[in-house]
Amino acid sequence: MPSISVVFPAYNEEANVGQAVRRAMEAVAAHTSDYEVIVVDDGSQDRTSAAVQAIMGEHPQVRLVRHDANRGYGAALRSGFEATTKEWIFFTASDNQYDPSEIGRLLLLMDEADIVTGFRAHRQDPFLRRLYAWAWNGLVNLLFGYLSRDIDCAFKLFRRNILEEMVLTSSGAMVDTELLAGAKRRGFRIREVAVSHFPRQVGHQTGADPRVVLRAFRDLIRYRWELGRG
């Protein structure tokens, strides 16, 4: 029976995070009783933390990490990873665009993989966001060799000991590339599996902000250069 830490980065997800956490607990409990759920409130300006705290009163498996200011997606994930205690780490989005019950598809590959990454079989995002993703995936796989058909899919499961072999530094969208490329370089096994993806019903996406995209491409080139040196 695996032990699993679930990590949710959250920024202004008051309307989503409660449902996301409850669905994740139900999904993971179907596979193990040894689990925890860690939500990282990345400087939200709404009541995201309050929504999580309401669940914590009922479920001791749920914990909250708070950033005083918004630090970015990668920084939120890193804080969540640092707070984990279980053998396997699973992370996904807190916007309910994924079905946490599909973690079972990833767990089926535990014996043959160190990282299992989902890919969105039918991505339900606006055209511009899908265009950015197409360019990003192509460039990443060109620079590092093939890593995944959907680098930034927020539905990943990996062995905790990977974090003992590498240090993640990205504060933004580069964090998925850093995780996969760093793991591949160190000989860890990466497998992929199709997962469902659903349109966002509540709240707003920030990943397609041109400033976020440009920073990610800049960080990508810098990371490739640093990886080549080291």
pLDDT mean by block of 10 residues, the chain; 230 residues: 96 96 98 98 97 95 97 96 98 96 97 97 84 87 94 96 93 92 95 94 63 77 74
The pLDDT score that the predictor gives to residue 99 is 97
Tell me the pTM.
Answer: 0.92
Closest CA to 217 of 166, 151, 157: 151
For the chain, the domains span: 4-229
The pLDDT score that the predictor gives to residue 229 is 64
Closest CA to 49 of 62, 36, 24, 66: 66
Neighbours of 127 (CB within 10 A): 8
Q: Which residues touch 228 (CB under 8 Å, ≥6 apart)?
A: none
Rounded distance, CA 171 to CA 23, Å? 27
Rounded distance, CA 77 to CA 56, Å? 20
The pLDDT score that the predictor gives to residue 111 is 95
For domain 4-229, say whether CATH 3.90.550.10 is its number: yes
The pLDDT score that the predictor gives to residue 163 is 95
b or e along 212-230 (b: 16 or more beta carbons within 10 Å of the residue's beta carbon)? ebebbeebbeebbeeeeee
Work out the angle at residue 115's Cα, subtended by the Cα atoms of residues 184 and 1, and round it to the nearest 5 degrees.
Answer: 150
CB 52 within 8 A of CB 18: yes
